[in-house]
Structures are given as structure tokens and as C-alpha cells.
Amino acid sequence: MGRIIGGEKTLLNYTTNTGTEAGGQGGVEVWPNPTTGQFKIQSLKLKVKEAEFEIFDLNDRKLLQKFIPAGTETIEIDVSNLQNGVYFSRLISDNKFLTRKLNIQK
């Protein structure tokens, strides 16, 4: 486990992510991780609630933001425009958020 301090003194905790987190924290799955350009997010919570998805670099700069309408179970995210490296993805729904480490390896 590690910690990173982001913009505005935000403290982020993370753990090693080696791929799909089946039924993981919050019932959210992200695969494949590492990704080569596209990955999917699946959550039963998204079926009932609208959400927002964001990707940040290690300097806490927001690089991608996507609105997810209620009723969506699986979404596909294209990150082919991002360079190889480590990023953080954040899923925000119902005033709660889940942050995951995302590796891009092309």
C-alpha cells in the first residue's frame, strides 16, 4: 500500500492492482489493468445511479472526465491518447468516490 499527496493537499491511498478486481471494493470491476489503450468499468451501482468517471496523472491533473448515465452497467474508456505510465481513476456516484490505480502499457 502507498500514499500520494495530490493537489489541494488531497491524500490518496492505493494498493497494487494486478488486473481485474472481481467484485472488488464497492462492487466495481476494472479490466484489463494494465491496459494498452481501452478498458472497461462494470458496476451494478451504475445501473441505478448516475456517475462520473475521471482520470488523473500523478500530479493530480485531471486528464479525462466522462458522465455515466443511470442504467449503464458497463462502460468502455479509451485512453489511447495517454502515454505509458501510472494514473489514478476515480468513479464518483452518490457523493462517494472510489479511486483505483490504472497502468497504461502500450
DSSP the chain: -EEEE-GGG-EEEE----S--TT-GGGEEEESSSBSSEEEEEETHHHHS-EEEEEE-TT--EEEEEEE-TT--EEEEE-TTSPSEEEEEEEEETTEEEEEEEEE--
Across-strand partners of 99? 90
Which cell numbers in the block locate residue 38?
481501452
pLDDT for the residue 8: 56
Mean pLDDT in residue range 59-77: 91
Model-level pTM greater than 0.85? no
Mean pLDDT in residue range 4-23: 48
Mean pLDDT in residue range 12-16: 53
Q: Tell me which architecture the domain covering 2-104 has in CATH.
A: Sandwich (2.60)
pLDDT band at 27 (very low <50, low <70, confident <90, very high): low
Query: Domains of the chain: which residue ranges?
Result: 2-104
Is 20's pLDDT higher than 50?
A: no
Is 3's pLDDT higher than 70?
A: no
pLDDT band at 55 (very low <50, low <70, confident <90, very high): very high
Is 77's pLDDT higher than 80?
A: yes
